[in-house]
Amino acid sequence: MNTPYRAVAQTRRREMKARMGLAGFIALTAWMIAPSVWPAVWLIAVSVGQAVDWLAFRPFLNSDRERPGAGAIAAACLACVLNSTVYSSISIYLWGAGETGMVFGSVLIAGALLHVTLHLNSVRSILLASVAPHALYFLGLPVGRAILTDTPQDYLIAIGCLLYMTHLLVAVRQSAATTKALQQANAVATEERNRAEIANAAKSDFLAVVSHEIRTPMNAVMAAATLLDRSRLKPEQREQVGMLKDAGEVLVGLLNDVLDFSKIEAGKMQIEPTSTDVRDKLKGLKSLWEPKADANGVAIRLNLPSDFPARLRIDALRLQQILFNLLSNAVKFTQEGEVTVRAEWIADGSALRIQVSDTGCGIPDDRLPHIFDSFEQVDAGVTRRYGGTGLGLAISKRLAELMGGALTVASEIGVGTTFELTLPSQAEERVEAAEQQAQIEADLSGLSILAVDDHPVNRKIVAMLLEPFGCRLSFAEDGAEAVALARDVPFDIILMDMQMPVMDGISATRAIRREGLNRETPVVALTANAMDVHRQAWLAVGVESFLTKPIDPAALVSTLEQASLSVAAPSLPPLPLALQA
Ligand code: ADP
């Protein structure tokens, strides 16, 4: 923050060149009015004064102190007195050179007075030190002359100068009051902003807790679906598992939406385009919503032209989020008829256009302009009947805009509604092998892993996911238990949950890093908290890497593999029987 002293010093530094240029002009004019050596002597004196000024104000430029030392302030005030005294002294010379010189001399002091009162008013002592010498010249010369000559004209000039000074004083007081009011308003605004930031941090914490609570059961659902998918299944069972996984992913996505909404609000949302099979995503969404639409006797039609590109470069998660919202609404508000999803690739403009139309109840004209506002719902009864928050369309529109596109709506009461999503994208015919579903393969056999989680379901999932790889697993139910174990038993990797009773994951990691056999063991933070603030806290205690719940099996395995690379030969001490998985 800029302090008043620093602001004054910056102004003086900034205007030094202009002051010197003006002094040169004044010296030349004074010489033309009355040629002699004095204007040149005056100019040299002004230059010396400016050098003193430069030195006197220099300490303020790099200081954050609201009130610098008394010595520095006194030096700056003295420099101002010196400069004003020297600068206005040219008026004595001009007043002795006839009427032209008098007018020019008075005008230049009046200008100097105005200049210092406007620029230096944030520090009263410096203002007074600068104004006083100018004011003495400005009043002293005409009043002295009037007393000496005793003529009405000179008295009039003296009275005029007095009036000018009075007006200037009033203006200075006014300006000081305005500056003070401005400073107070700034202080209030800063305080309000701080309060808003604290409230926002509290909101982030609240969201983190909520996300933790919902993600834990989701973790179980997703892991179970993944394991089921790996088992021997009939084709229709595989399709059902696929639906389960898709729905789970969308639910996790929705959960993230709440976090995302605050991210969008804070301008921190990142868009990450990847090579995506949009047709596949559309088919997945169709099968996800079909059962619900069927129950109402409503059909969902997917209209995909044959020339639609196999892959598009687009942020798949955000695209799914938007379409999920649109389809969810279309199914929710359509009691008969059909819902149509029409996808189109506009080769000219390299854009993807998707229309979601329904033959539902429609949206009244007067509500249409507000439909994308947050927490906007046409009919409060709808919330009771169907649920919903009124956030879906607000997020969708903002996401579309963040992706460089647009989301628009057209609707007619009783006829239906059409949402049109347009997103810029690049077509990619090549199917990237790396992005295809790969079998998870890794060499984790013999790795001794301590998994710390208070939730029995989560411990079970870790066991189910890692046992097939030949890992040797030990479990702890809270941070304190993990610390006690890590003191005596060497592990190759520690998987650490964040929120646990007795001792949380961060405190436990800190304690493990402090003493015992596992001070150097890589710790992988296995947490339901995707919030960035928590990542900072984890990093501060020295975790190796992060895994967000619900656990993605491939990510778990590759993270463990990475972490194991930093471990020497896996240690194989006997494990306490009670802790064997
Ligand atoms: P939510 O569905 O969670 O209430 P949205 O932001 O998705 O929130 O939708 C806001 C409101 O817009 C809905 O409550 C509904 O009144 C209206 N709306 C959205 N889509 C449709 C649609 N396809 N047909 C009729 N009304 C709709």
Mean pLDDT of 548-559: 78
The helix (H) or strand (E) run that includes residue 475 is strand 472-476
580 pLDDT above the threshold of 60: no
**Ligand 1 atom 2, closest CA:** 388
pLDDT at residue 357 above 90?
A: yes
Half-sphere exposure of 318 (CA within 13 A, CB side): 25
| Residue from 323, 329, 375 whose mutation best tests the ligand 1 pocket (most atoms within 8 A of CB) | 329
- Ligand 1, atom 8: closest residue by C-alpha: 390
Mean pLDDT of 331-335: 92
Residue 564's pLDDT band (cuts 50, 70, 90) = confident
Alpha carbons 502 and 510: distance in angstroms, whole number: 15
- Measured from CB, residues less than 6 Å from any atom of ligand 1 are 325, 329-330, 333, 358, 360-361, 363, 371, 376-379, 382, 388-394, 417
For residue 71, the surrounding DSSP H or E stretch is helix 70-88
Best probe residue, ligand 1, of 377, 391, 398 (max atoms within 8 Å of C-beta) = 377
- Do the Cβ atoms of 301 and 340 come closer than 8 Å? yes
Q: What 8-state DSSP symbol labels residue 350?
A: T
Instruction: Give 305 Cα–ligand 1 centroid separation in angstroms.
Output: 28
pLDDT surpassing 60 at residue 539: yes
CA-proximal residue: ligand 1, atom 9 (nearest): 390
**In sequence order, which residues have a C-beta less than 8 Å from that of residue 466 and are 6 or more positions away?**
444, 449, 473, 556, 560
CA–CA separation, 113 and 165 (whole Å) = 9
Quote the tokens at residue 77: 């005030």
Q: What is the mean pLDDT of residues 241-260?
A: 75
Q: How far is the CA of 279 from the centre of ligand 1 (A)?
A: 25
Q: What is the model's pTM?
A: 0.45
Q: What is the pLDDT of residue 430?
A: 46
pLDDT given for residue 571 in this prediction:
41
Pair of tokens at residue 47? 């230059």
Q: Which atom of ligand 1 is nearest to the CA of 371?
A: 12
Supply the residue whose CA is at minimum distance from atom 7 of ligand 1. 392
Question: Rounded to the nearest whole angstrom, what is the distance from the C-alpha of residue 357 to the centroid of ligand 1?
Answer: 13
pLDDT given at position 403: 92
Per-residue pLDDT tens digits for 106-160:
999 999 998 888 887 778 888 889 999 999 999 999 999 999 999 998 899 899 9
Atom of ligand 1 nearest to the CA of 379: 16
Question: What is the reported pLDDT for 353?
Answer: 95
- Residues 543/525, Cβ–Cβ less than 8 Å: yes
If you measure from the C-alpha of residue 343 to the centroid of ligand 1, how many angstroms do you get, rounded to a whole number? 21
Statement: residue 101 has pLDDT above 80: yes
Write down the pLDDT at residue 49.
Answer: 94
- CA 382 to ligand 1: nearest atom: 14
Task: State pLDDT tens for residues 21-54.
Answer: 999 999 999 999 999 999 999 999 999 999 999 9
* Closest approach atom of ligand 1 to CA 360: 24
Higher pLDDT, 394 or 569: 394
Of 407 and 118, the one with more pLDDT: 407
pLDDT, tens only, 364-373: 999 898 899 8
Which residue would you say has higher pLDDT here, 222 or 442? 222
Fill in the amino acid letter for 386: Y
pLDDT of residue 435 exceeding 60: no
- Ligand 1, atom 11, lies closest to the CA of 377
Which of 338, 361, 368, 393 should be mutated for ligand 1, with most atoms under 8 A from CB?
393
Alpha-carbon distance 196 to 517, whole Å?
45
Q: Taking the CB of residue 115, how many other CB atoms lie within 10 A of it? A: 16
How confident is the model over 184-203, as a mean pLDDT?
88
Instruction: Tell me what the mean pLDDT of segment 551-563 comes to.
Output: 80
Query: pLDDT tens, 458-477?
Result: 787 788 788 878 888 899 99
User: Using CA positions, which residue lies closest to atom 25 of ligand 1?
Assistant: 362
Q: Which atom of ligand 1 is nearest to the CA of 419?
A: 23
pLDDT tens string 374-389 = 666 666 555 445 545 5
Per DSSP, the three-state class of 534 is: helix
- Residue 216: pLDDT over 50: yes
CA of 338 to the centre of ligand 1 (A): 17
Q: Which residues pair with 523 in a beta bridge?
A: 494
Ligand 1 centroid from CA 329, angstroms = 6
Q: What residues pair up with 524 in beta bridges, in sequence order?
A: 495, 545
Highest mean pLDDT among 204-208, 438-442, 479-483: 479-483
Please give the Cα distance from 336 to 338 (Å, whole number): 7
Element of type H or E holding 352? strand 351-358
